Amino acid sequence: MKLRIYILTIIGLLFSGLLKAQFPSTTQEGGSAFPTNGFPTENQKDKDAKKAANSNGRIGLDDSTKVVYGPTSTRYFLEEDVVNNRKRLYNIDTIIDGIHNYNFVQRNKNLYQDLGNLGTAIRPVFYKAPEQIGTLLGYDAYTLYTFKPNQVRYYNTKSPFTNIIYVPGGGEQDLLQFELSRNIDSLWNVGLNVQRITANKTLIDQTSTGDNSSIGHWDFMVHSNYQTKNKKYSLLAYLNLSDHNSNDQGGVVVETGRDYQGMLALADNRPILTVASTRDNSYNLHVYHEYVGYKAFQIFQNIDYQTRRVRFGDKGFSAAWQTGFYPYAFKANSETAYRYSADTSVTNHVVLDSLYNESKYTNFEVKTGIKGFYKGFNYRMHLRTRIYNYTNPLKPAYNISNKNENFLGLWLNQYFKDSTRVFGEVEFSTDLQNLRINGEFQGKWLNVGGSFISTPATLVQQRTYNNGFRWTGELDNVKTTNVYAYTNLKFKQLVLRPSADITKIASYAYFDTLAYVQQSKKDIEIYRVGLGFDFRKGHFSTTNQIYYTTTGDEDKLMRIPKLFANSRVAFDLLYRKKLFIQTGLEFHYKSSYYADAYMPAIQQFHLQDKQLIEGYLQADAFADMRINRVRIFVKFAHVNKGLLGNGYYASPGFAGMGRVLAFGVHWLLFD
């Protein structure tokens, strides 16, 4: 704790000093402003400031009235554009479209399933293959809430830039996001990002008088980018500290004589778990740097270091085991498993009162390679080396020390004069045990692509040890093959977006109805077709997306709703030529399916057959507004509650958020 206070103090002093000075950037006022190495170039207005340049080429402030600070003077770029030699700068987002979607499910177009509250455990609704090969930890229920390398915005600012988002989301949910960026001089920028997520419990234990908080999440990130005067060397880096705390509830206790739908009508519901909690904290250091000798030959390197500690504790384990929430129990220093049963001869066994699970993981990864481009052709080759350690304090025999994995990769991209594009990439381990292939053709009317990945099961799937879950053993690689096609068709004010997607999974690793790891011997096939359609005329607009999914899954291991739909209707208004307003309704529907349940002891979603998540249409009313650089929204979530039923379940045992009124503020400051 003292270390965190010390770090925050140092950073605060740094940025308080930065705010006392002003330095210009070399970002262009408009158009594409990236040179060949992906950094902003100097604009014509700033050339006059060269007279004030120091001998090292760094420029002081020309604080004249010609400089206008705002969204056009402050732009950002992403690391992936620098890596791929794309000349791209992004404007600061000032539009009001969709700003009311503050929670992580709706901002991701409802493609995720959480536990009905902001910051709770979350997973994709549709199957999602791993994004990289190699042995990963596998505790991913909260990783969506942390910063990722491809999400970090690197700025080159003309003035201090601040972005503040505050949302008292209703239903005792709060979201705060703070972003500050500041150029030290024309070559070096430093930024700070802070994210805070809090939420209170939705299930209340009437016997408890303690803390009612459910979620407490912190993200603290410092990032920086630097470029030499001759634009030969560039550096991007960030340090992220993430700490997620959750008071886990396990779901609702179903009273005698009631079913899950009947529980929705009750004002107060009791949770299964009352003294269980999770803490997941990590530290990530990421560095990317490159040297541009020639356009066709550049050297680049990625350096990543991550340390992570995941803990879960339940001091009421014995009582929860008696209810059947935990399927098995182990006595201390015993490998004998006791399955929960109504038979008293089983429950008379001595079961430990508490359950504790802990995993420590460190990963050091270096990716070094060459890249370049000539006219429309780009290439990239790399060697990636990673060394990881895994520690289970409860079972030292499961520990892994300094495990080394090496990979080789090749990426090719070709742009044609008619704006079509073809790219392909391949990466494989040097022992030929892991493989990833990806490719796509992007045409004027049709985009077609495919991928294949063969990668090991996660560490949590390979080895777990605590009072209720124990297994170890090598699993086969999970192999995923995917082919897809999509297009955009424009007919005046109407835009159609048909798509088709086929996925085949071999040796699928999953968690069964007892939350124990298993591996399928049969292949699983998933077929999905989609249709998006947008229409705009005058002040009216509507955006819609529908997916229909079916599986060739005889064992029903992949639980996906057959019908998935999003829809929005909106009207744009202008009040007194200053206040922009967009108001309307948003709808979301998923058909009935046996959604996966959540087991907090191992931070995994698993199969369940007890509760059918009924199909339900949810409607939200919203009004998004902007005046100058301040955006405000008001949202009446689940406005149709009581019209089509008492509500719905977001996950087994966890009801979705009820009717609540939320509002939020997005505030951009450029000086």
Domain extent listing, the chain: 2-316+354-669
| 345 CB-near residues (< 8 Å, 6+ apart) | none
Question: With helix as H, strand as E and coil as C, how does 11-75 read?
Answer: HHHHHHHHCCCCCCCCCCCCCCCCCCCCCCCCCCHHHHHHHHCCCCCCCCCCCCCCCCCCCCCCE
Q: Residue written as tokens 């650089």?
A: 629
Q: In this predicted structure, what is the pLDDT of residue 448? A: 97
Distances from the Cα of 390 to the Cαs of 129, 186, 217, 286, in angstroms? 23, 43, 24, 20
Angle in degrees, CA 261, 267, 270, rounded to 5? 80
Do residues 121 and 603 make contact, with C-beta atoms less than 8 angstroms apart? yes
- Give the up-direction half-sphere exposure of residue 664: CA atoms within 13 A in the CB hemisphere: 25
Task: Write the CATH number of the domain with boundaries 2-316+354-669.
Answer: 2.40.170.20
Q: For the chain, how big is the Rg over CA atoms in Å?
A: 26
Q: Residue 263, Cβ neighbours under 10 Å: how many?
A: 19
Q: In this predicted structure, what is the pLDDT of residue 117? A: 92
Q: What is the DSSP letter of 493?
A: T
Do residues 508 and 130 make contact, with C-beta atoms less than 8 angstroms apart? no
Q: For residue 652, which of 513, 524, 553, 552 has the smallest C-alpha distance?
A: 513
Alpha-carbon span 45 to 373, nearest angstrom: 30
Ranges of residues in the chain with a pLDDT under 70 are 1-68, 205-211, 341-350
Q: In this predicted structure, what is the pLDDT of residue 22? A: 31
Q: For residue 235, which of 220, 251, 224 has the smallest C-alpha distance?
A: 224
Token digits for 147?
Answer: 């910063």
Alpha-carbon span 112 to 115, nearest angstrom: 10
If phi > 0 it is left, if psi is from -120 to 50 it is alpha, else beta; for residue 50 that is alpha
Q: Give me the torsion for CA of 12, 14, 17, 19, rounded to 10°.
A: -70
If phi > 0 it is left, if psi is from -120 to 50 it is alpha, else beta; for residue 272 that is alpha
If DSSP codes are grouped into helix, strand and coil, which group holds residue 80? helix
Q: What is the DSSP letter of 20?
A: T
Q: In this predicted structure, what is the pLDDT of residue 69? A: 73
Q: In this predicted structure, what is the pLDDT of residue 454? A: 97
Q: In this predicted structure, what is the pLDDT of residue 322? A: 85
Q: In this predicted structure, what is the pLDDT of residue 615? A: 94
What residues pair up with 276 in beta bridges, in sequence order? 314
In the chain, what are the helix, strand and coil shares in percent, each to the nearest 5?
10, 50, 40
Do residues 333 and 299 make contact, with C-beta atoms less than 8 angstroms apart? no
Alpha-carbon span 411 to 409, nearest angstrom: 7
